[in-house]
């Protein structure tokens, strides 16, 4: 687990690389889709954090130009993000938007707390970082991506990330501007789809850059509240010049009540 990759981010605590052991577990092949999340909402009437707060973060390029330039609040220091009133899982770009043909895309605008609520309803749980990384590697040892060390083996696109010059020009070479279906691209060696790019995925752990130094080798999980929860996998916004975190060892985090249009989750079967 982990990496000493020179392209990595040491401040994120990606390394040092070490051997860890995970007890048996079963993890979903795909991220939770909008259709699956809709069933949860229909059954429970649950209201997501974005719906309760009345807004969520949306990548500016996903917004119609009038909204992007006139009505959505810019995020200081991150001009490609907008705080959009009314944005939520079923209105991903705010009022007037809808899921349309995205039933099979990953649900977004879900906080860690929303993902945890879904898990409690579905009798599942979020994966630990170690479980997520082991599954994402697909049986390969020490490789940068779920399929090997080359980003485009034989010239093929294997994931949904930013193509071109971030954040102003996306050439769409991989076929997608924002989210892709949960089963897009080839699965890894364990049959998991989109563990690289598409949407960030929440993990069970609290986040610490000292993760590899303070968690045990057997079933590691960081349980000390730190203010942020771990996320893995990168998203459709990742680009090597900005957020080269679509590598399997890469890590990031956000506060557990935060929501964006590039973060979702997948689940693990709850222990009996």
Could you read off the pLDDT of 19-78 as tens digits, one per residue?
999 999 999 999 999 999 999 999 999 999 999 999 999 999 999 988 888 888 899 889
CATH of 23-45+106-269, one of 1.10.760.10, 3.90.1580.10, 2.30.30.40, 3.40.50.300: 3.90.1580.10
Listed in sequence order, the residues at least 6 apart from 63 whose beta carbon sits closer than 8 Å to its beta carbon are 72, 82, 84, 93, 94
Query: If you ran DSSP here, which 8-state letter would residue 13 be given?
Result: T
pLDDT for residue 242? 87
pLDDT for residue 76? 87
pTM: 0.97
CA dist., res. 215 & res. 12, Å (int): 15
**Residues of the chain under the 70 pLDDT cut:** 272
Q: Identify the bridge partners of residue 74 per DSSP, sorted by sequence position.
A: 82
pLDDT for residue 272? 58
């Amino acid at each position: 687990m982990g990496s000493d990759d020179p392209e990595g981010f040491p401040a994120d605590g990606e390394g040092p690389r070490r051997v860890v052991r995970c007890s048996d577990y079963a993890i979903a092949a795909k991220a939770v889709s909008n259709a699956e999340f809709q069933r949860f909402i229909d059954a429970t009437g649950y209201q997501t954090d974005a719906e309760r707060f009345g807004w969520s973060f949306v990548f500016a390029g996903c917004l119609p130009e009038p909204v992007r330039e006139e009505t959505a609040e810019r995020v200081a220091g991150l001009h490609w993000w907008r705080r959009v009133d009314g944005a939520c899982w079923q209105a991903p770009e705010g009022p007037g938007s809808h899921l349309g043909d995205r039933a099979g895309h990953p649900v977004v605008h879900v906080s860690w707390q929303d993902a945890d609520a879904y898990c409690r309803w579905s009798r599942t749980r979020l994966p630990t970082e170690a479980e997520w990384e082991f599954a994402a590697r697909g049986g390969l040892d020490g490789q940068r991506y779920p399929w090997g060390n080359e980003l485009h083996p034989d010239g093929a696109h294997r994931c949904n990330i930013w193509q071109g010059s971030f954040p102003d020009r996306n050439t769409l070479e991989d076929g997608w501007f924002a989210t892709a279906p949960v089963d897009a691209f080839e699965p890894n060696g364990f049959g998991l789809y989109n563990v690289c790019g598409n949407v960030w995925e929440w993990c069970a752990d609290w986040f610490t850059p000292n993760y590899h130094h303070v968690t045990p080798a057997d079933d590691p999980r960081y349980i000390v509240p730190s203010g942020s929860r771990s996320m893995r996998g990168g998203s459709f916004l990742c680009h090597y010049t900005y957020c080269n975190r679509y590598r399997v060892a890469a890590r990031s985090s956000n506060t557990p009540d935060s929501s964006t249009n590039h973060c979702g989750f997948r689940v693990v079967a709850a222990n009996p």
